[in-house]
């Protein structure tokens, strides 16, 4: 545990304290052991095992198809690669909506089988009873309001939330109710920046994590594939800042490998075993 002695373990209370002190919270997604370790050692606060794995790992057009079993497997891999960061598992579509009992059971799987330390549940005031019961069972919850991808068909596409008074009222009421239920943090996705700022200032203990919600949230989250350029061609939403362009680097490496194999250059003598 030499690594942990150098960096303090992030807990739910750490995030609550960051909110109180005005220290920004950093969040990225990860879906496997190796990338989780890289993010952890780089100093990320929270690793979210996002249901975005449905899109960026499994090639689906939305987050809806991914299952509990697949999400638990991703979470377990991420947990094994993480020492200091807080691991939050995204509860997939229909893993919590049918009933409170279903939500509690599936949330428990993420902790027991996946090694997660918290779960994320999409939905506003309508999910408060479910969220409250999950928390009562000892499972920390990160809420998620604004654009909730599991409800993408209801929204009719990725539309910015909070532009109309009815939407603003729903978002603000939901945020307060979810904090009252005990959520330690809350994703605000694709939301009018002023509304996000107002929600952030209204919450006392629940840290807001923005994605397309402006600079006034308590923290920010992005999908790791997106910041590395490993996303679908043409996917460049306004809020996305790309920090690397890995596809041409990967392509060049693969092309060189193919050339080396075909030319007989790989493997050479130094890369081959001999009994001499």
> d(Cα 155, Cα 189) in Å, to the nearest integer?
13
CA distance 100 to 107: 10
Decide: 137 and 117 in contact? Cβ < 8 Å: no
d(CA 61, CA 54): 8
Residue from 127, 200, 195 nearest 160 by CA: 195
Catalytic annotation, pick one of 117, 122, 179, 189: 189
CA 104 to chain centre: 20
Element (H, E) at 143: strand 141-146
Query: Which residue's structure tokens are 């599936």?
Result: 106
Q: Is the peptide bond before 78 cis (omega within 30 degrees of 0)?
A: no
Active site residue 173: no
Active site residues: 189
């Amino acid at each position: 545990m030499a690594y942990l002695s150098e960096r303090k373990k992030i807990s739910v209370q750490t995030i609550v304290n960051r909110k109180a002190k005005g220290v920004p919270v950093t969040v990225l997604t990860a879906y496997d052991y190796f990338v989780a370790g890289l993010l952890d050692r780089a100093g990320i606060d929270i690793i979210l095992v996002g249901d975005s794995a449905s899109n960026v790992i499994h090639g689906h057009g939305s987050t809806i198809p991914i299952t509990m079993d697949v999400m638990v497997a991703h979470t377990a891999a991420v947990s094994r690669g993480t020492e200091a960061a807080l691991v939050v598992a995204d509860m997939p579509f229909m893993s919590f909506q049918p009933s409170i009992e279903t939500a509690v059971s599936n949330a428990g799987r993420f902790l027991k089988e996946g090694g997660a330390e918290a779960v994320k549940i999409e939905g506003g005031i309508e999910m408060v009873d479910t969220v409250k019961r999950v928390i009562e069972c000892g499972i920390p919850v990160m809420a998620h309001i604004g654009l909730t991808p599991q409800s993408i068909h209801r929204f009719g596409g990725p539309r910015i939330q909070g532009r109309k008074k009815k939407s603003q009222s729903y978002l603000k009421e939901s945020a307060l109710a979810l904090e009252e239920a005990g959520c330690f943090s809350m994703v605000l996705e694709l939301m009018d920046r002023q509304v996000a700022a107002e929600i952030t200032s209204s919450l006392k203990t629940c840290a807001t994590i923005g994605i397309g919600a402006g600079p006034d949230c308590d923290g920010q989250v992005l999908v790791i594939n997106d910041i590395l350029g490993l996303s679908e061609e043409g996917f460049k939403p306004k809020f996305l800042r790309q920090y690397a362009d890995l596809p041409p680097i990967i392509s060049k490496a693969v092309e060189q490998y193919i050339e080396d194999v075909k030319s007989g250059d790989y493997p050479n003598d130094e890369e081959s075993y001999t009994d001499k």
